[in-house]
Structure 1
Amino acid sequence: MIIDAHSHVHDPLADHLALLDEAGVDKTILFPTRPHPERARDLAGLKLEMAALQRALSGRQDGYAAAIEEWESALAAYPDRFIGFASALDRAELRGIGELTPPPDEAASIEPMLRAAADRGGIPVVVHGAAPTTAKDLRTLAELARRYPRVPLVVSQLGGLHWMDAIEYVRDNPSMYLELSTASIVFAVRLAITELPERALFGSDAPYGDPVLARATVERVTRPGEVRDLVLGGNAFRLIS
């Protein structure tokens, strides 16, 4: 089974499903989103969507209710394709928490979510790994993982610019996972899989990334066999089971 471990709701949803079909993805971990860069048709439109992203990253809640409604609609329409993760803990369909994006150098603020995840039997928690996440944040996440060893803690986007630190922290903390989307350096993906064959996760971060290209990157740096199968879906399946 191929599982995209990191994706956001698309508008229209049919475009997302077409991408997943093209990539041969069976299931997708789906997060709500307020910005929709896939709607942009020119630079001005993209700037408007990125402004919404910056508001979200700064902690503003405008648009959150609409994002949750979109997400719930997608889960209801395609329960066989989408696996729901969100920070709305009152929802019974929630399979994990995320994608959490604390302000720079404030990763410690996610501790209540880790505590809540532990209370729910140790459901996984996904944290944004690229900017604005800092090297200090990654170190804090590793400390939190040691404090909550029953909660799988997923660092997304290969830790962004700090991918070498991310690989080391995840390698040294058995409850941590590293999601591989939007990597700018191919050998970063290769090294992550080499160090973390059972805790590296194929993900696209669509619409920011592309499921077809993300899968091709994993397949480019692995041989057919057990490790590739684990990264493309086996590890994620174990995470959500």
Structure 2
Amino acid sequence: MIIDAHCHAGPGDGFSGPWSSRAPLGAYLRRAREAGIARTVLFAAFHSDYGMANRAVARIVQREPHRFIGFAFVHAERDRGRIASMVREAVEDYGFRGIKVHRHDARISREICEAARTFRVPVLYDVGGEVAQIELFAREFPSVPFIIPHLGSFADDFAAQSAIADVLARLPNVYTDTSGVRRFDLLVRALRRAGPAKVLFGSDGPWLHPGVELAKIRALRLPPWDEQLVLGGNLLRLIHDNSGDER
């Protein structure tokens, strides 16, 4: 089973770019079907009210619960004091399976990590190139899985994307996803250094083509079992989902 571990969905409420205005799934779903992608992790576009945005994503997930996996987007500063209640609502009422945080909003907080630990869900945190800080929160919360997308930087920060391989190898609860990575050899390096159990396939849809992003994984020419880990097995393990045979 192929699972895209990184896709936005629903309306934003800003117009700085597609990432904050709207994340429509029409073309994405057609492309994902053509690529053989069976399931997708969804979380909101950037929004000034993530409670509202998460409800919009929940409606999408609830229409096709066997197709979509929801993650709750939270803002470390603006949502301070209510993150646990937001995550509780998302997990218990919406059936969401993780938390999404972005450095563009604010740095991850202890409150977010504590909520992840309480509800036993992973955190997908875009560090925006701040790879050095990963060790601080990951060691403080060893039971929380942290997924660092884009090898640490969507901005193609070579230093950050080079450094992530050692972080993955050292810290058992830190993972990465492959979305938007341009330098193919850095994917190779991360896999060789940390192993296939630490890497998840993601597309950063709907703005990046899921079939193109998937082609990078195919081009790695991994052994079948290793490829299955990257393409879905690792994500299922992190969200405690036993549906389907990872092998």
TM range (shorter): 0.7 to 0.9
CA distance in 1, matches of 2:202, 2:104: 23
Contact 1:118/1:150 (8 A) holds in 2? yes
Contact 1:181/1:203 (8 A) holds in 2? yes
What are the within-5 Å matches in structure 2 for residues 54-65 of structure 1? 61=48, 64=50
Among residues 23, 28, 31, which one is paired with 1:16 in the alignment? 28
Q: Is 1:206 aligned to 2:205, yes or no? A: yes
Give the deviation of 1:217 after TM superposition. 0.2
> 2:25 is aligned with what amino acid?
L
Give the deviation of 1:224 after TM superposition. 4.2
Alpha-carbon spacing, 1:152–1:65, altered in 2? closer, same or farther (3 Å)? closer
Cα deviation 1:139-193 (Å, max 9, x = unaligned): 2122210110000011011112111111211211000101111001111112222
Contact 1:85/1:94 (8 A) holds in 2? yes
CA distance in 2, matches of 1:223, 1:153: 24
Tell me which residue corresponds to 1:97: 99
CA distance in 1, matches of 2:33, 2:235: 18
Q: Is 1:33 aligned to 2:45, yes or no? A: yes
Q: In structure 1, the residue corresponding to 2:103 is in which secondary structure?
A: coil
Give the deviation of 1:12 after TM superposition. 4.0
> 2:218 is aligned with what amino acid?
E
Unaligned residue ranges in structure 1 (runs of 5+): 35-55
Tell me which residue corresponds to 2:149: 156
Tell me which residue corresponds to 2:115: 116
Contact 2:9/2:44 (8 A) holds in 1? yes
Alpha-carbon spacing, 1:70–1:19, altered in 2? closer, same or farther (3 Å)? farther
How large is the Cα RMSD of the aligned pairs? 1.9
Q: In structure 2, the residue corresponding to 1:184 is in which secondary structure?
A: coil
Contact 2:43/2:54 (8 A) holds in 1? no
CA distance in 2, matches of 1:155, 1:176: 7
Give the deviation of 1:229 after TM superposition. 1.2
CA distance in 1, matches of 2:212, 2:202: 10
Alpha-carbon spacing, 1:110–1:102, altered in 2? closer, same or farther (3 Å)? farther
Give the deviation of 1:221 after TM superposition. 1.2
Give the deviation of 1:66 after TM superposition. 4.8
Tell me which residue corresponds to 2:214: 215
Comparing both structures, which one devotes a greater share of its residues to strand?
2
TM-score (norm 2): 0.77
Q: Is 1:231 aligned to 2:223, yes or no? A: no
Matched-pair identity in %? 31
> 1:154 is aligned with what amino acid?
I
CA distance in 2, matches of 1:180, 1:228: 13
CA distance in 1, matches of 2:61, 2:67: 8
Unaligned residue ranges in structure 2 (runs of 5+): 11-22, 75-85, 241-247
Q: How many residues are aligned here?
A: 206
CA distance in 2, matches of 1:143, 1:28: 29
CA distance in 2, matches of 1:16, 1:208: 8
